[in-house]
Structure 1
């Protein structure tokens, strides 16, 4: 069984530790834990790992957030992975910082990366792991907020939340989305 795990973010050092890059950061943590290195491939940084008989293909799209669908669609086709074996890790303003919510499908909720995936990959029927980044910004400051770095306090808490996200990624690929949701969603 093959799975495509896509962490969303933007490439470049200026975006590295921003809230919008939590998908990249989570996959980086998983790769570090497993001793993996991302290689530059078509439309994405890519790494592979085996877990309990599953083949997990981890990608960090290099197309920038708003064109994430191009990379995801390419790798779904290239690896012949069905859309039900796709999991997208994405930041979410509507959730408090560190709150994780796994969903089998859903709307883009105004997120440009998810909107592009829906447009390119044929709708909202794919799993997503929403990683709460909070909404501590004034009206009209949303873009500045998501593209700003995490606070020192948030950085201290991130490893714990990313480790839970990794457990959810591994659960998705082994025990399935329904059991993982009931086990981890609050």
Structure 2
């Protein structure tokens, strides 16, 4: 039963290979059990990230870390009450939970996958940090953020903009999403690669 869930249409072959290990497989199942949008967002982000990483010429080991971190970047959300999925406005208490999910994600990764590579955990912890110091959970600035974290951060934002979210009226178009990345100062080379990548549609998450 679990294997059937993990091999839904749209699941790339490399992800099936990665999830053959019991620990990561179980964590992926927790993500799917929490809400399918979290699971599909993880797949879409990882697919985009792999395309970006290859285009940027990353070494195979770096590409592996990058893709694994992209898939698990939001695994810390399984700590959230499910009501947060459809909540349009967040309270101050809600925001505290949101801001803690990168740290929770690292804890979950190490718990489910004891030999997880350290760079994967670092990217999960840093995927909401921003070069100008406005990110969370630690307000890191450019130079203190791992280069792989910057790539996942940009791609995760791009993927989220294309998806339906309860707090906005509509999904962004590809052109609008790319413009938003530029406006927020994400790396030009990442934006350029995303501009040339076809839209990834996984499940019912990614809008037109």
- For the aligned pair, the TM-score class normalised by the smaller chain equals 0.3 to 0.5
TM-score (norm 2): 0.31
RCO comparison, higher one (Cα < 8 Å, 6+): 1
TM-score, structure 1 length as denominator?
0.33
Q: Which structure dedicates a bigger proportion of its chain to strand? A: 1
Which of the two has higher C-alpha Rg? 2
